[in-house]
Structure 1
Amino acid sequence: MSNKKYAFFALVFSICVLLAGCEKESPNSRWSMLKKVDPEPVVIYTEPEASQKELVQGIKDETNTIPSIYDVAVIKGKKDTLVAYKVKQMARFKMKSIEKELTEMLESKYPEEKFTVSSDFKIFLETMRLRDKIQEPDFSKEKADKRLKEIIELNNELT
């Protein structure tokens, strides 16, 4: 093999190694747009822990009852609850009616909660990233709640 071919292969190999090393996202957030990841619901502030976990699990289960929805991520903050979901491909033309139906269903079942409901892929991805960050021991509850509010603001800007 000539020196030019060897140099070319070494360069391509080096670039591949560098690009693979730059990946910092967790497996869940990396693949969340391509397949169903079915994340566990997250509660940022857990005073009465069991009841809060039951609440967010109930929200997730209630959301999964809609046949057009196939993946749901729920994060409950101090005041807000974010429900990000993915819609099956054939139901994408009914996204507004699905969102309206889901919002009405959640607000009637859980009237004391303040919901932000979104089917936007970017919001789902940001929710997955926040969920992964919350799992880190040095990520504080205050930072998590602040990031949750930023994601909700982003959703409000997109709509």
Structure 2
Amino acid sequence: MEVKRGDEMKTVAFVILVSVSVCLLGACGQGEVKERVEDTVMRTSNEQKEKSDKEQRAEEIAKDFKEVKGAVAYDTEDELVVAFHVTQYQKFFTEKIEKKVKKALEKEFPDENVVVSHDLKIRLEIERLRRDVEQKQISEKELEKRIKKMKTLREEKA
């Protein structure tokens, strides 16, 4: 069985073409990722400035617990809503952790109606709500609607 020289050249050319294409496509995507990361960092730093002191303090109190991995807070007119997530090993104790966090927050904010949750849906809704408010993409009516939605999400959990 003889391999023709022309077939061999076509195979080599094809391999080179595919290799160059893969390299170019890989290199093109890196700039986009860097831009997205920079945008996220910029957005995050702006969000930190926008948060109210009460929200920021509530998040810090929740994060002070070693079991809590992260927390977000949103201050509405009638309540302070704090949602958190725990480390993987603490998932079985979320109710207990929730009570400890709520007790600490009520001690810090005695005049506030403090609502604490470990529910992912509520945490995501707070993050979306805060982002939309900061970007001024939400009307007063829509804000009230979303806050009501957050309350119904909490009631679903119970």
**TM-score (norm. length: structure 2):** 0.64
In structure 2, the partner of 1:101 is 100
> How far off its partner does 1:146 sit?
3.3
Identity of aligned residues (%): 25
Aligned pairs (5 A) from 1:1-159: 40=48, 53-159=52-158
Say how many residue pairs are matched: 116
Instruction: Return the alpha-carbon distance in structure 2 between the equivalents of residues 69 and 107 of structure 1.
Output: 17
SS where residue 106 of structure 2 aligns? helix
Letter in 2 for 1:143: E
Where does the alignment leave 5 or more consecutive residues of structure 1 unmatched?
1-26, 28-36, 44-52
8 Å CA contact 2:72, 2:82 repeated in 1: yes
**Which entry has the higher C-alpha Rg, 1 or 2?**
2
Instruction: Return the alpha-carbon distance in structure 2 between the equivalents of residues 144 and 78 of structure 1.
Output: 11
> How far off its partner does 1:135 sit?
2.1
In structure 2, the CA distance between the partners of 1:55 and 1:114, relative to structure 1 (3 Å rule), is same
Structure with bigger RCO (C-alpha 8 Å, 6+ apart): 1
In structure 2, the CA distance between the partners of 1:42 and 1:106, relative to structure 1 (3 Å rule), is farther
Select the structure that is richer in helix. 2
Runs of 4+ aligned structure 1 residues displaced above 3 Å come to 37-43
In structure 2, the CA distance between the partners of 1:152 and 1:117, relative to structure 1 (3 Å rule), is same
Letter in 1 for 2:139: S
SS where residue 139 of structure 1 aligns? coil
Where does the alignment leave 5 or more consecutive residues of structure 2 unmatched?
1-35, 37-43
Letter in 2 for 1:127: I
